Amino acid sequence: MSERKLYPSDLSDAQWALIEPVIAAWKDRHRSVSGHQGAYAMREIVNAILYQGRTGCQWTYLPHDLPPKSATYYYFAAWRDDGTDQVIHELLRCQVRERARRLEGPTLVVLDTQSVHVAAGVPASTTGRDAAKRVPGRKRGLAVDVLGLVIDVIVLAAHAHDNAAGIALLDQVAQSAGGTVEKALVDQGFKNQAVAHGAGQGSDVEIVVRNPQEAGFVPQPKRWRVEQTYGILILHRRLVRDYEHRSASSASRVHWAMTHVMARRITGANTPTWRDPQAVTA
């Protein structure tokens, strides 16, 4: 890596070592006919993607000491389209679960959705209005395990019912988790269609009913993990609002954000909070 002042979002040597084998293998499969290796180091490309995800800057506002939009977007789009971003994410997720003494495939997942506003220029055909939450934009659905790690993500127009998101997530989870999921917890926004769909796949979908006597936000056992994950993702400003023209890019942003989080966890890196420079967060 060329010498420059480091950004807080940059990968450390230990974090890059977790990702490098996948990137190196991809690069080896995509050799230039002329033998040209490219003008930018792959580590710097990943650093640029993570910088943008964390700060939320526009493509053309990437700092001059990072690779430009032309190079960074090329790899972001290529890795999005061929699933390399998901391969990296899955590799780190399995390592985090192993460190927690858990099996690679989860037996329980928590599903939830989040409606977010979109930026100007996002195609209207991919957006809608969530009438319940009064949010025009897109709906981001997550399936997480009991550690709060993302198993699958789906991005729909905000007017899509939670059942549609839940059914799509259950289908993805059934495929990606290899049939290990036995139970899924959802909130009251999900209805009987999602329950029936899960039963057809051999998964028990339980609607966690809120106690009507409780006022305000009250964390529910195990279900709170997905709320925690949404809170962690919002620290990555590119996810505060949906800026992506393609829904697939929105999902890729979630994978990269969680990849960054997991790489830090595995290597024991800590992030100072704005409250106390000496404080640390997970």
Stretch among 31-40, 43-52, 234-243 having the lowest mean pLDDT: 31-40
Q: Provide the pLDDT for residue 3.
A: 81
196-210 tens-digit pLDDT? 999 998 899 998 877
The pTM of this model reads: 0.90
Average pLDDT, the chain: 90
Q: What pLDDT score does 11 carry?
A: 97
Does the pLDDT at position 237 exceed 50?
A: yes
pLDDT at residue 34, rounded to an integer: 65
Q: What is the pLDDT of residue 217?
A: 62
Measured in whole angstroms, how far is the alpha carbon of residue 193 from the centre of its chain? 26
**Residue 272's pLDDT is what?**
52
Q: Please tell me the predicted confidence (pLDDT) of residue 280.
A: 44
Q: Which residue has the tokens 């899509």?
A: 160
Q: Mean pLDDT over residues 224-234, rounded?
A: 94
Q: Kindly state the average pLDDT of the residues 226-255.
A: 96
> Does 86 score more than 90 pLDDT?
yes
Spell out the residues 6+ positions from residue 202 whose beta carbon is closer than 8 angstroms to its own: 179, 182
Q: Are strands 150-157 and 135-144 parallel, antiparallel or unpaired?
A: antiparallel
How far apart CA 137 and CA 154 sit, in angstroms, is 14
Please report the pLDDT score of residue 249 as a whole number: 98
Backbone φ and ψ for 15, nearest 5 degrees, come out as: -70, -40
* Among the ranges given (52-56, 99-103, 192-196, 232-236), the one the predictor scored with the smallest mean pLDDT: 192-196
- Asked whether 89 and 259 are in contact (CB, 8 A), the reply is yes
Cα–Cα distance for residue pair 36/21, rounded to 1 Å: 20
CA-closest candidate to residue 189, choices 171, 224, 210, 163:
163
What pLDDT was estimated at residue 36? 66
Q: Which domains does the chain have, with CATH numbers?
A: 103-244 (3.30.420.10)
Instruction: Report the alpha-carbon angle 270-255-165, nearest 5.
Output: 125
Please report the pLDDT score of residue 190 as a whole number. Answer: 87
Angle subtended at Cα 225 by Cα 221 and Cα 230, rounded to the nearest 5 degrees: 140
Q: Which helix (H) or strand (E) holds 276?
A: none
pLDDT attached to residue 277: 53
Q: What is the mean pLDDT of residues 152-165?
A: 95
> Residue 209, Cβ neighbours under 10 Å: how many?
9
The fraction of the chain above a pLDDT of 70, given in percent, is 90
Confidence of residue 273 (pLDDT cuts 50, 70, 90): low
Q: What's the mean pLDDT in 241-263? A: 97
Q: Is the predicted pLDDT of residue 282 greater than 50, yes or no?
A: no
Please determine, for residue 68, whether its predicted confidence score (pLDDT) is greater than 80.
Answer: yes
